[in-house]
Amino acid sequence: MSQTAPSPFEKLEHKHQEAEVIATESRSTWQITWARLRSNRWAMTSLYILIAITLLSIFCPIFSPYTSYTNNLDNTFASPSAKHWFGTDNLGRDLFTRTWLGVRISLIVGVAAALFDLIIGIIYGGIMGYAGSRVGGAMNKIAEMLYAIPHLLVVILLSVVMGSSLTTIIIALSITGWITMSWIVRGQILQLKNQEYVLAAQSMGASSARILFKHLIPNTLGPIIVTVTLSVPSAIFAEAFLSFLGLGVQSPASSLGTLIGEALSSWTIYPWMMFIPASLLSITMLAFNIFGDGLQDAFDPKMKK
């Protein structure tokens, strides 16, 4: 993950406040990564699929002639048809609208949880990695302790205390999720801390904060981006799992997990009620995972054949 091949040095006009700024380096790294990613057919396909799914989840419910909550008790459990593309549910609600809303909620849960992980993980992991071995070690011990709490217990207790709302689920998922992220950040920073350019920056008088945020964190971005990309699907999955236990996002909102969970009792009669949301969930999960793998390959030149 280390930054090999630094650009050749250029002579710069001496400005005191930018004593140690190197202007051109990072852009070209991004470009290289992007070029590598673009040549990965699977990753790009996944990216397009993700974009398509996101757009559909935004616009389908808006342009659908149905709302997600209007009941039609005379047309329950209808099969997919020209009127209702995905059929209707037990209250005659249009499943096309509900499914895409479900995709939307699942994406929100996944992305929000990943973002929370990211923010807390970067701050905590950054400090943990950059601080001296005593503070860093203590922080690491705390993280290890938190990591040992059975994840499920926290989630169940929280959703019981706070009610199963979207916010609760996001909080519950990220309350333990950030630890992994902080370890990755810490690992990266520990690795990079002793590299020459940090020493160089220190010798040029840059403050610790500046070194942390300007040098170390940007340089750890590769694995972090990969982890974030991969933690979106785990959060989506975790939410689906909670839905099975009846602790997922609640009506009238629905996530893919709740839709699948509700259909579990009737899929042998109305298979489409489960298979449509399950397929969408799988496609989303897959696309995130393949894209994440692609990103990993792109960030790590060693993996490139």
Partner 1 sequence: MKKKLLLLVSLTLVLTGILSACGKSGSGTSDQTFRMNLTTEPPSLDVAQAQDQVSFTVLSGLFEGLVRMDAKGEIAPGVAEKWDVSDDGKKYTFHLRDNAKWSNGDPVTAQDFEYSWKRTLDPKLNPPAPYAYQLYYVKNGQNYNIATDNPDHVSDPSQVGVKALDDKTLEVDLENPTPYFLNIAAFFTAYPVKKDAKFGEAEGYISNGPFKLKSWKHGDSIELVPNENYWDKDSIKLKDVKFLMVKDPNTEFSMYKTGQLDWSGLPTGSIPPAQLDKLRQENNKELSIKGIASTYFYNFNNTKKPFDNAKVREALSMAINRQDIVDKVTKAGQTPAYGFVSTGIHGVNGEYRSEVKDDYFKEDVAKAKELLAEGLKEEGMTKMPEFSLSFNEGPHKTIAEAIANMWKENLGIDVKLELQEWKVFLKNRQSLNYDVARAGWGADYNDPMTFIDLYTSKSGNNDIGFKNPEYDALVKEAYSTADQQKRVDAMAKAEQILIGDNMAVMPIYYYSSNQLVKPYVKNYVVDYSGNLDYTRISIEK
Partner 2 sequence: MVRYLGGKLINIVFSLLILATATFFLMKAVPGDPFTQEKAIPPEIKANIMAHYGLDKPIGEQYLIYMKKLVQFDLGLSMKSQDRTVTSIISQSFGTSAKIGAFAIVISVIIGVYLGMMAALRHRKLVDNTAMFLAVIGISVPNFVIGSMIQYFLSVKLQIFHVAGLESPIDYVLPTIALSTLPIAFIARLTRSTMLEVLTSDYIRTAKAKGLTPRAILWQHGLRNGILPVVTYLGPMTANIITGSVVVEQIFGLPGLGAYFVDSVMNRDYTLIMGITIFYAVILMAARFITDVLYIFVDPRIKLSGGVVKS
Region at 77 (left for phi over 0; alpha for psi -120 to 50; beta for the rest): left
Q: Which of the ranges 13-21, 24-32, 78-86, 238-246 carries the binding residues for partner 2, by CB under 8 A?
A: 238-246
Token representation of residue 31: 């470009």
- Contacted entry of partner 1, partner 2, none for residue 152, CB cut-off 5 to 8 Å set by kind: partner 2
Contact pick of 142, 209, 264, 303 for partner 1 (by CB under 8 A)? 264
Q: How far apart are CA 94 and CA 61, in angstroms?
A: 10
Alpha helices in the chain (DSSP H): 25-38, 41-63, 95-130, 133-148, 151-162, 166-193, 196-203, 208-210, 217-244, 256-263, 271-299
Looking at the chain, how many residues does it have? Answer: 305
- Contacted entry of partner 1, partner 2, none for residue 184, CB cut-off 5 to 8 Å set by kind: partner 2
Peptide bond connecting 6 to the previous residue in cis, omega within 30 degrees of 0: no
Token representation of residue 139: 């922080």
Torsion, Cα of 17, 19, 23, 29 (10° steps): -120
Measured from the CB atom, the residue of 53 and 273 that comes closer to partner 1 is 273
In angstroms, how far is CA 101 from the centroid of its own chain? 19
Region at 87 (left for phi over 0; alpha for psi -120 to 50; beta for the rest): left
Q: Does 134 bind partner 2 (CB under 8 A)?
A: no
Measured from the CB atom, the residue of 5 and 161 that comes closer to partner 2 is 161
- Which residue type occupies 79? S
**Across the strands, what pairs with 94?**
88
- Contacted entry of partner 1, partner 2, none for residue 167, CB cut-off 5 to 8 Å set by kind: none
Q: Which residues inside 69-88 make contact with partner 2, applying CB under 8 A?
A: none
Contact pick of 99, 180, 219, 250 for partner 2 (by CB under 8 A)? 180
Q: Which of the ranges 28-36, 99-107, 116-124, 263-271 carries the binding residues for partner 2, by CB under 8 A?
A: 263-271
Q: Which of the ranges 53-61, 104-112, 177-185, 200-208 carries the binding residues for partner 2, by CB under 8 A?
A: 177-185
Contact pick of 150, 194, 203, 269 for partner 2 (by CB under 8 A)? 150
- Which residue type occupies 293? D
CB 220 within 8 A of CB 192: yes
Contact pick of 71, 81, 202, 279 for partner 1 (by CB under 8 A)? 71
In angstroms, how far is CA 27 from the centroid of its own chain? 24
Q: Give contact residues for partner 2 (rule: CB under 8 A).
A: 137, 140-141, 144-145, 148-154, 156-157, 160-161, 180, 183-184, 186-187, 227, 233, 237, 240-241, 244-245, 257, 260-261, 264, 267-268, 274, 278, 281-283, 285-286, 289-290, 293, 296, 302-303, 305
Q: Give contact residues for partner 1 (rule: CB under 8 A).
A: 69-71, 73-74, 76-77, 90-91, 159-161, 163-164, 246, 250-252, 264-266, 269-270
